[in-house]
């Protein structure tokens, strides 16, 4: 039995989707990021970094998508959610690492350009420049994903993997910052294929995802 600490619409959706795809027995526990629950004493005991996702496995807590996703793939080998070939697995992790270390921070800055200043205001001009740079970086990443998906069903080709649920998060975030995601034909077709998967739909419904609302 697992427990997943998650917040709808955030990057925890990747682990949420994968648990469902694997047929895992798990309890989803929603953390209200908007109300600051992640900074409260109770959640800090779960994840001192105050972030979702966090996966409880008995007494162990695993955080970070790049740790949780491969962990679940190994815990449920029959679900076939990771490439069997070592080089292909490395390629999938390479993309996951890029999403987590470059694309996610770009989204965060586009949404919150004031955050690098902490308690000190950077001023409107600096924040505007940060926002524009982050939005541009984010869009370039969306185009890169769109190019990768040309002629491919899934991010790793014919095999559906843990990377697909993670990639879907970024489609939703593109829409959230009002990027014209529909212009990215391959990425949009991928999003539509994802929505057809029963496990993905279950999670999108549970998370009340805007991805389920027709454009
Ligand atoms: N690299 C981490 C990022 C985790 C992360 O930043 N989660 C966000 C939601 S997408 C969060 O919990 N934010 C709460 C906060 O910063 O207060 C991962 O992929 O697991």
32 Cα to the center of ligand 1, angstroms:
12
Task: Give pLDDT, residue 9.
Answer: 97
Task: Give pLDDT, residue 34.
Answer: 96
pTM strictly above 0.85: yes
Ligand 1 atom with minimal separation from the 14 CA: 19
- Asked if the model's pLDDT at residue 215 lies above 90, the reply is no
pLDDT in tens, 30-82: 999 999 999 999 999 999 999 999 999 999 999 999 999 999 999 999 999 99
Ligand 1 atom with minimal separation from the 11 CA: 10
Task: Give pLDDT, residue 23.
Answer: 98
Task: Give pLDDT, residue 117.
Answer: 85
- Taking residue 141's Cβ as centre, other Cβ atoms within 10 Å add up to 19
Find out whether the beta carbon of 209 lies less than 6 Å from any atom of ligand 1.
no
Task: Give pLDDT, residue 118.
Answer: 86
CA 139/CA 110 separation, integer angstroms: 11
Q: Where are the domains of the chain?
A: 2-79, 86-197
Q: Is 181 exposed, middle or buried (0-12, 13-18, 19+ CB in 10 A)?
A: buried
pLDDT in tens, 150-206: 999 999 999 999 999 999 999 999 999 999 999 999 999 999 999 999 999 999 999
Answer yes or no: same fold for 2-79 and 86-197.
Answer: no
Ligand 1 atom with minimal separation from the 53 CA: 20
pLDDT in tens, 17-32: 999 999 999 999 999 9
CA 198/CA 141 separation, integer angstroms: 27
- Asked if the model's pLDDT at residue 105 lies above 80, the reply is yes
- Asked if the model's pLDDT at residue 142 lies above 90, the reply is yes
The pLDDT of 136-149, averaged and rounded, is 98
| Distances 79 to 74, 75, 155, 192, 203 between C-alpha atoms, Å | 9, 9, 17, 22, 17
For the segment(s) 2-79, the CATH number from 3.20.20.450, 3.50.50.60, 3.40.30.10, 3.40.720.10 is 3.40.30.10
The pLDDT of 112-128, averaged and rounded, is 90
Half-sphere exposure of 67 (CA within 13 A, CB side): 11
Pick the residue whose CA is nearest to atom 6 on ligand 1.
Answer: 51
Task: Give pLDDT, residue 100.
Answer: 98
Find out whether the beta carbon of 38 lies less than 6 Å from any atom of ligand 1.
yes
Which CATH number is 86-197 given? 1.20.1050.10
């Amino acid at each position: 039995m697992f427990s997943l600490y998650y917040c709808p619409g955030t990057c925890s959706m990747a682990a949420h989707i994968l648990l469902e795809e694997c047929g895992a027995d798990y309890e989803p526990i929603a953390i209200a990021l908007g109300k600051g629950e992640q900074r409260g004493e109770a959640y800090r005991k779960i994840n001192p970094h105050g972030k979702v996702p966090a996966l409880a496995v008995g007494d162990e807590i695993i955080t970070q998508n790049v740790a949780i996703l491969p962990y679940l793939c190994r815990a449920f080998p029959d679900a076939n959610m990771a490439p069997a070939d070592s080089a292909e697995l490395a390629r999938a992790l390479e993309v996951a690492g890029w999403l987590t270390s470059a694309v996610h921070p770009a989204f965060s800055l586009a949404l919150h350009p004031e955050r690098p200043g902490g308690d000190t205001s950077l001023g409107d001009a600096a924040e505007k420049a940060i926002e524009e740079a982050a939005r541009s970086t984010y869009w370039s990443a969306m185009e890169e994903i769109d190019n990768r998906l040309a002629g491919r069903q899934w991010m790793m080709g014919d095999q559906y993997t843990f990377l697909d649920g993670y990639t879907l998060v970024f489609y939703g975030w593109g829409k959230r910052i009002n990027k014209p995601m529909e212009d990215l034909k391959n990425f949009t077709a991928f999003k539509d294929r994802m929505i057809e998967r029963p496990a993905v739909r279950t999670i999108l419904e549970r998370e009340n995802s805007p991805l389920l609302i027709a454009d």
